[in-house]
Amino acid sequence: MDYAAAAPNEPQSNVSSPGVITLDNLSVSFGRRPILQNLRGELRGRAIGLLGPNGAGKTTLIHTLLGFHPPSSGTARIFDQDIRGDANQIKSLIGYMPERDSFISKMSCVHFVRFMAELSGLPPGAALERAHEALFFVGLGEARYRNVDTFSLGMKQLAKLAQAIVHGPKLIFLDEPTNGLDPPARQRMIKMIREIRDSGQAHIVLSSHLLRDVEECCEEILILKDGRLVVYCNLEEERKANKKFLMLETRGDQKTFAASLSTLGCEYAVTGEHRLKVILQERTEIRDLYRLASAAQMQIRRLTFKRDSLEDIFLKAMENGAAELPLPRGRGKKAMENGHGGS
């Protein structure tokens, strides 16, 4: 339970090992209304962010993976176990922090967390011991004998986190974990999520409408829109790719300069009369751009490295169509042309 003291593990990179979550044409309908439509892909990150506007299907996806809703077609696997046929085995591997409160009235916090541990398969003695450990980990050790009904909103969020991790799950679903928290309480929650992530003891799926929470905690991002997967993004690879992604402001013969970029193998996109987006090749240096600019009798007035924020990625996803996982790594000319102008 001591996530903070656990030695961090390296992210999984063995492609032959099963993914954390595999979506295999997963669809869910309520009556005749489709909620999730043909979700496909494999997720392996230690922390996976789930984003989308209200009604996109985020909570339905979580509930389906938890076994609350049966798929209408397709399936999904968690650690290579099918949610259709291996539901009981999967439940022992996962923890769930719901968005809405789901406490039992008139029950003390430690007894509530112990009860949830027993429901997750721990014997009574071990469940009580782990309940104490979990509550001390989240910072409720001194308040663990109080009735949960007397807790503040922030304390209730911590209690929900404690019951989600008490049985030592391998995968933890966190649905809006910072909902309603003040800034200091939010920082404490984010710190604990990072400790769990970095311990290597559990993977995390974080669903939040706060992009900052997801960007601070997650490695992989899924964005849903109207029940479809519209974006998959590996944030770490995006950051690496953006090291050679430049925004230029120019004066002079930009057309000649842009045409000469192909001699260096650089991909580019013209975003305005005096603006270019350029991807440098590994062998290309900044001084090569100034050399070409001089030959074209053009000035480079401003040169900045461009990094798409998660907000940029999210807003663009609301304009584009569906995607499948895994997507090609790196960035190309089409990605830039569909990207975000301005610097």
Q: Could you report the per-residue pLDDT of 201-231, keeping only the tens digit for each? A: 999 999 988 888 998 899 899 999 999 998 8
Q: How far is CA 204 from CA 10, 160, 229, 238, 308, in A?
A: 15, 15, 19, 20, 23
Q: Could you report the per-residue pLDDT of 226-245, keeping only the tens digit for each? A: 999 988 888 777 666 555 67
Which of the residue ranges 46-60, 233-247, 321-335 would you say has the lowest mean pLDDT? 321-335
**Residue 248 and residue 278 in contact, taking contact as beta carbons nearer than 8 Å:** yes
Is residue 338 over pLDDT 60?
no
What pairs with residue 171 in β-bridges?
94, 203
Q: Could you report the per-residue pLDDT of 55-112, keeping only the tens digit for each? A: 889 999 999 999 999 999 999 999 999 999 898 889 889 999 999 998 998 999 999 9
How much is the pLDDT for 36? 95
CATH number 3.40.50 is the correct assignment for the domain at 238-337: no
In this structure, the strands spanning 171-175 and 94-97 are parallel
For the chain, domain boundaries: 3-234, 238-337
How much is the pLDDT for 191? 94
How much is the pLDDT for 53? 87
Task: For the domain covering 3-234, report its CATH number.
Answer: 3.40.50.300
The Cα–Cα gap between 62 and 50 comes to 9
